[in-house]
Amino acid sequence: MKPLLAIAALAFVATPAIAQDDGSELPDDVQTAIVYGDDAAPDCPDGMICVVARLPENDRYRIPETLRFSTDPENTAWSKRVESLELIGNFGALSCSTAGAGGFTGCTQDLIRRAYGEKKTSEAVRFSDLIAAAREERLAEIDENAADEQARVEQIEREYLERLEKERASELPDEGADDLPQPADQTGPDEG
pLDDT, tens digit, for every residue of 122-132?
Answer: 777 677 788 88
Residue type, 139: L
Give CA–CA dist 101/111, Å, rounded.
Answer: 19
Residue type present at position 137? E
pLDDT tens for 33-43 read 999 999 999 99
**pLDDT for the residue numbered 155:** 96
What amino acid occupies position 59? D
Radius of gyration of the chain (CA): 48
Rounded Cα gap, residues 144 and 146, in angstroms: 5
Q: Return the pLDDT at 161.
A: 95
Which 8-state DSSP code applies to residue 80? Answer: H
Query: By three-state DSSP, how is residue 117 classified?
Result: helix
Q: Which long-range contacts (CB under 8 A, 24 or more apart) does 142-150 make?
A: none
Yes or no: say if 41 and 52 are a contact pair by the CB < 8 Å rule. yes
Closest CA to 32 of 24, 19, 41: 41
Running DSSP on this structure, what letter comes out for residue 52? E
pLDDT band at residue 160 under the 50/70/90 scheme? very high
Nearest-5° angle of CA 113, CA 115, CA 120?
95
pTM beyond 0.85: no
What would the DSSP string read from start to end of 90-138?
--STTS-SSSSTTGGGGHHHHHHHHHHHHHHH--S--HHHHHHHHHHHH
Please give the backbone phi and psi of residue 51, each rounded to the nearest 5 degrees, phi first: -120, 125
Q: What is the pLDDT of residue 143?
A: 76
Query: pLDDT (tens digit, 9 = 90+) per residue, 96-150?
Result: 777 666 666 778 888 888 888 888 887 776 777 888 888 888 888 887 788 888 9
Q: pLDDT at residue 81 above 80? A: no
Res 5 pLDDT > 60 = no
